[in-house]
Amino acid sequence: MTQRTDVVVIGGGQSGLAAGYHLRRLGIEHVILDAQTAPGGAWQHTWGSLRLFSPAEYSSLPGRLMPVQPGQTYPDAGHVVDYLADYEKRYELPVRHGVSVKAVHRDGTLLRVATDCGDWRARAVVSATGTWTRPYLPAVPGRLEYTGRQLHTVRYQDPAEFAGQRVIIVGGGNSGAQIAADLAHARVNTTWVTQRPPRYLADDIDGRALFDHATARRRALDAGRTDTGGVASLGDIVAVPPVRAARDAGLLTAKPMFSRLTAAGVQWTDGTVAEVDAVIWCTGFRPELAHLAALRLRGSRGRIATVGTRALAEPRLHLLGYGDWTGPASATLIGVGRPARDAAREIADLLRP
Ligand code: FAD
């Protein structure tokens, strides 16, 4: 069965909902197809102790402030899921949960969106599928030789499952620091390794400053001024309270990255070895773009060239929320609102007779 609408939004996480909010405001008929059976996107799957790196009011989608979580300056993931579920309902966004998009094809003047329960034909598509479903693991020698447990950030849930074990955490970003702190607070035997010494943002800087920096950068670029550099120039790790506490207690000392895995553990270039029961790879993500393969748009580094959110070689397609290449801070709760609005406006222009 093939259904028709003006716009199909693929993905019903925060990015898809922000797109839906702006499409609805402009009166554009659309549907949001989301593979998850419940609202909340990737936030449904993160580990229990995760804290946002910004306070609630700085983690809001367009139209509705995230309420403060009682007793928490930095809300947890469960609070974000509740907020997104309420957002979806409050704005009556047409989300179809449990629908997985398999491919997008060109079909004359339309785009055909093939799903696991029928096709849609649309005049424009917004892809907002996030990165959570494409965890990245670096090619480190010996990875297949190692006989212990290996897991990526996406599979980490709770320190209790590592009680009594020796665990190595790889990665100097927020996930690595938060998971290392989580395990260290639970007194798990933890080694944290990073490619370069950890770069903490100043303790009084959090996601608010990152957002302000990204905004200032966008303004500078728009005005043709010198690039002030991405948020990475400020540091890699927001010192949210559990991370700060672990660091200040001396529980978060990072070692350099090891050079290889062995059957029983890891080995550094100087020959030092450590036996470990588990390796947790906090090594990032790649954009989930497999459903767009048939459009043949991917260029270097697996990205699709865009002007703002619009695919350069396919003006009926917009990309939202994957990172800075689809708009400054667009992969954050507060940052996705603006590119979502711009995408909706461009789509309105495209649809105008
Ligand atoms: P997602 O939340 O991943 O939503 C995408 C949706 O699309 C999912 O429901 C998925 O199932 C669905 N989907 C995927 N493929 C298909 C398909 N083919 N068909 C149909 N549906 C599909 N941001 C902040 O603002 N503050 C923070 O503190 C913060 N902390 C973070 C901590 C971690 C560990 C990570 C990984 C990210 C963090 N982020 C944070 C960044 C960002 O806000 C999240 O990654 C967020 O989940 C991105 O939202 P999204 O809607 O783009 O993607």
Task: Write the pLDDT tens digit of every residue in 248-286.
Answer: 999 999 999 999 999 999 999 999 999 999 999 999 999
Lowest-confidence segment of 79-93, 206-220, 293-307 by average pLDDT? 206-220
Share of the chain above pLDDT 70, in %: 97
Mean pLDDT of the chain: 93
Q: Looking at residue 230, what is its pLDDT?
A: 64
Give the pTM.
Answer: 0.94
Residue 91 tokens read as 């704005």
Domain boundaries, the chain: 2-133+285-351, 149-200+236-281
Query: Is pLDDT of 14 > 80?
Result: yes
Q: Looking at residue 187, what is its pLDDT?
A: 96
Whether 149-200+236-281 and 2-133+285-351 are alike in CATH topology: the answer is: yes
In whole angstroms, give the CA distance from residue 30 to residue 12: 12
Helix (H) or strand (E) holding 296: none
Confidence of residue 229 (pLDDT cuts 50, 70, 90): low
For the CA of 321, the closest atom of ligand 1 is 52
Mean local confidence (pLDDT), 161-171: 97
Lowest-confidence segment of 50-59, 78-87, 124-133, 267-276 by average pLDDT? 50-59
Ligand 1 site-directed mutation target among 57, 132, 288, most atoms within 8 Å of CB: 132
Task: Write the pLDDT tens digit of every residue in 97-155.
Answer: 999 999 999 999 999 999 999 999 999 999 999 999 999 999 999 999 999 999 999 99
Residue 348 tokens read as 């309105």
CB 14 within 8 A of CB 22: no
Look at ligand 1, atom 18, and give the residue with the nearest C-alpha. 101
Look at ligand 1, atom 38, and give the residue with the nearest C-alpha. 332
Q: What is the CATH number of domain 2-133+285-351?
A: 3.50.50.60
Residue 204 tokens read as 């009084």
Q: What is the DSSP letter of 267?
A: E
Q: Which residue has the higher pLDDT, 280 or 324?
A: 280
Lowest-confidence segment of 135-139, 217-221, 292-296, 347-351 by average pLDDT? 217-221
Mean local confidence (pLDDT), 32-60: 94
In whole angstroms, give the CA distance from residue 20 to residue 30: 8
Confidence of residue 231 (pLDDT cuts 50, 70, 90): low
Q: Looking at residue 234, what is its pLDDT?
A: 66
Alpha carbon of 43 to ligand 1 centroid (Å): 7
Residue length of the chain: 353
Q: What is the dihedral of CA 282, 74, 84, 177, to 10 degrees?
A: 0
Q: Looking at residue 233, what is its pLDDT?
A: 64
For the CA of 101, the closest atom of ligand 1 is 19
Q: Ligand 1 pocket: which residues have CB below 6 Å? A: 10-16, 33-36, 41-43, 46, 52-54, 59, 100-101, 128-130, 132-133, 175, 207, 288, 291, 321, 331-333
Query: Is pLDDT of 7 > 70?
Result: yes
At the fourth CATH level, which superfamily is domain 149-200+236-281?
FAD/NAD(P)-binding domain (3.50.50.60)
